[in-house]
Structure 1
Amino acid sequence: MKKALLLTVFVAAYIGQAAAQANYTKTPKGALYTILKAGGGAKIKQGEVITFQFTQKNDRDSLLGSSYQMGKPAMVQVQPSRSVSDLMEVFTVLSVNDSARVRIPTDSIFAGREDGRPPFLPKGSYLNFTIKVEKTQSLDEAMAERNAAMEKEKTERAAMAEKLRGEEKATLARYIADNQLTPQTTTSGLKYIITTPSAGRKPVNGDTLLVNYAGRTMDGKLFDSSIEEVAKAGGLQQPGRNYEPIKVVVGDGQVIRGWDEGLLLVNEGAKAKFIIPSALAYGERGAGADIKPYSPLVFDVEVVKVIPGVRKKAVAKTGVKRAPAKKATGKRAATKRKVTKK
């Protein structure tokens, strides 16, 4: 009795599927399609560029992809079909404003490469598309529209960058006024104050410096420090960090430009405050959650020691190139990343 019931269910399901398939037209390569809503326009021609919305599902109605999820319609130039899955056979029977359902047999897609078949597309199943054609254009029209959109986006990005640079300039001025600072300014825009002078050795490019520092955003948030007391007072969590001065070969591009320039102005044993515009720090990219794009930064630094760049002098005499410095790794790399280049 149970076997008979199962057989009846199977036959009913097969008949239902066959009836459903009867409403579809089959293309030469084996795709099945049915027009859900006819737009009534001229058929799409090869060479035209079509703009269309789509959803892609498996037989269990699981969504595999969607232009609606992507936030914009798909575009493709209609060309001779190379495989059943490229939908080119179906596009040429549609017109603007047509909606269609298309079924692609997965056995055709994975023929000869069954090892690439995912479990959600088993043998005998179909890949199911719902398509709505929104627009057709010539290739020249599509390219002109694309170029215009790119130019518009470029203009909008430039306008936004200009706005953010203006806001940055105002933020810097407000910070200096609110803190009653009188910094010196270099030609690059770096602002600095020697807070604790020293008669110690002044570094030159190629010297190795041992530097203690604390880095803050304009609103005073501490995002990095080599000094344990400062880190704890600022609520900065840096688990596993060895709190000690970091080594910097000044002028070697190991650190942000504001540091490379500013450290040359600080004698051994001296302390300084650097107010670094974003152009000399992380610019339009920013750096993580704390340092937003176009963010000026404040660093309190102390040059603990200047080690003369003996190796650099030797290179100048012999012409032998130095091996590149090894990159910091692990947790140490994470702490250094805030002041080093991105």
Structure 2
Amino acid sequence: MKKYFAFLLVAAFATKASAQNGFQRTAKGTEYRMLTHNPGDRIKVNDVITFEVVQKTDKDSILFSTYRTGRPAQAQIQPIGDLMDIFPLLTLKDSVLIKVPTDTIFNGHEDKRPPFLPKGSNLLFLMKIEKVQSLTEAMAERDKEIAEGKALIAKYQADETTNTDKYIATNKLLLKTTPSGLKYKINKVSVKRKPLAGDTLLVNYVGRTLDGKVFDSSIAAEGMKAGLQRPADSYQPLQMVVGHGEVIPGWDEGLLLLNEGSKATFIIPSKLAYAEKGAGDDIKPFSTLLFDIELVKIKPGKHVPVKAAGTKPVKKVAKPPIKKAVAKKTS
């Protein structure tokens, strides 16, 4: 749906409007009505503008609104399209209503015309200019935002490391650490075989944040104790194919270190879990996660080369254990 309205927006900006009463017409025929007009320098070619825009039908049904998305639009002014008739008329904080006949938008594209935009109807664009910058100013602002974002991420990562080290020291944990940063401890040793990438595993688990919050579990007693909102009959070992990105990278790496029947504790840094995005209400951005794991059974499968643990979570977020625990998060 978003792509469809994006098509309408681009098409409207490149088409000519027909005359209607109450609107002024530019030399190229674009119709507009100034709602507010302020003194000051007018917009020029290559300026970068930040603006709010509402797109609606002539029956006043809103199709798109930056006010609703909470993020204004931004564009660099280029000497193409009929809106270049409009922008040179505007200054900072000006607002304007632009009318575009849908017949010109869908000329040659009638198959894309929706029922709510019949022939003879119009699209209305209500625009308000919130910021006008030179290209140099806009690029400097962008570079500053990027630098500030990197600095903030570095701070969050440093805080995460500090909190993890403090947790390990407080609980006097003796852990091994892999090159990727996964920390683990084998709590129950087994001499049975280890899995290979492509094997199907049955896994019992309890997932916690470092503050002790249980966000998911395959074990009924643990889930009910933590008050997890899930059906009682859903508690059973998780079945998943290891090494295929079906779970977070920390799981894919850690499970390959275990033997069938063994139990372990994983401490998984956010870069091997949900990084800066987090997952739901319980797993905040840059959260290190703790899992108590039991590798219940290995079902041999098609073996593939092991995926190296990366610094970013896989695009498909983990199926249980975490997905069920954060039911509010949708993809």
* TM-score, normalised via structure 1 length: 0.64
Q: Given that residues 55 and 125 in structure 2 are in contact (C-alpha distance below 8 angstroms), is that contact kept between their aligned partners in structure 1?
A: yes
Superposition pairs of residues 62-141 of structure 1, within 5 angstroms:
62-69=61-68, 70-81=70-81, 86-92=82-88, 94-97=89-92, 100-111=96-107, 116-118=112-114, 121-131=117-127, 141=134
Give the distance between the partners of 2:185 and 2:131, measured in 1 at CA: 61
Give the distance between the partners of 1:247 and 1:125, measured in 2 at CA: 53
SS at match of 1:148: helix
Return the offset for 1:201. 3.1
Match of 2:177 among 176, 180, 186: 186
Q: Who is 2:49 aligned against?
A: 51
Return the offset for 1:299. 1.1
Higher helix content, 1 or 2: 1
Match of 1:156 among 142, 148, 157: 148
* 1:212 counterpart letter in structure 2: N
Q: Given that residues 248 and 273 in structure 2 are in contact (C-alpha distance below 8 angstroms), is that contact kept between their aligned partners in structure 1?
A: yes
Give the distance between the partners of 2:41 and 2:158, measured in 1 at CA: 52
SS at match of 1:87: helix
Q: Given that residues 198 and 302 in structure 2 are in contact (C-alpha distance below 8 angstroms), is that contact kept between their aligned partners in structure 1?
A: no
Match of 2:236 among 221, 232, 243: 243
Superposition pairs of residues 226-237 of structure 1, within 5 angstroms:
226-237=218-229
Q: Who is 2:254 aligned against?
A: 262
* 2:49 counterpart letter in structure 1: T
SS at match of 1:219: coil
Give the distance between the partners of 1:222 and 1:166, measured in 2 at CA: 24
Give the distance between the partners of 1:264 and 1:58, measured in 2 at CA: 57
Give the distance between the partners of 2:74 and 2:239, measured in 1 at CA: 51
SS at match of 1:335: coil
CA RMSD in angstroms comes to 4.1
Return the offset for 1:186. 1.5
Return the offset for 1:43. 6.8
Identity of aligned residues (%): 45
Return the offset for 1:296. 1.0
Give the distance between the partners of 2:198 and 2:63, measured in 1 at CA: 57
* 1:183 counterpart letter in structure 2: L
Structure 1 spans left out of the alignment, 5+ residues? 1-19, 317-332
Distance 1:30 1:168, change over 3 A: same
Return the offset for 1:127. 3.5
Match of 1:203 among 189, 194, 200: 194
Q: Which has the larger radius of gyration?
A: 1
* 2:79 counterpart letter in structure 1: Q
Structure 2 spans left out of the alignment, 5+ residues? 1-19, 306-317, 325-330
Q: Given that residues 202 and 265 in structure 1 are in contact (C-alpha distance below 8 angstroms), is that contact kept between their aligned partners in structure 2?
A: no
Give the distance between the partners of 1:245 and 1:64, measured in 2 at CA: 43
Deviations 1:273-322 (A, max 9, x none): 22222233332333444333211111112233467x6975xx99xxxxxx
Give the distance between the partners of 2:73 and 2:240, measured in 1 at CA: 52
Q: Given that residues 52 and 131 in structure 1 are in contact (C-alpha distance below 8 angstroms), is that contact kept between their aligned partners in structure 2?
A: no
Q: Given that residues 40 and 95 in structure 1 are in contact (C-alpha distance below 8 angstroms), is that contact kept between their aligned partners in structure 2?
A: no
Q: Who is 1:279 aligned against?
A: 271
Q: Who is 1:4 aligned against?
A: none
Counting matched residue pairs gives 288
* 1:96 counterpart letter in structure 2: T
Q: Given that residues 50 and 133 in structure 1 are in contact (C-alpha distance below 8 angstroms), is that contact kept between their aligned partners in structure 2?
A: no
SS at match of 2:141: helix
* TM-score, normalised via structure 2 length: 0.66
SS at match of 1:246: strand
Give the distance between the partners of 1:291 and 1:184, measured in 2 at CA: 23
Deviations 1:203-227 (A, max 9, x none): 2645945432222222223233333
Q: Given that residues 217 and 223 in structure 1 are in contact (C-alpha distance below 8 angstroms), is that contact kept between their aligned partners in structure 2?
A: yes
Give the distance between the partners of 1:64 and 1:212, measured in 2 at CA: 47
Q: Who is 2:320 aligned against?
A: 335
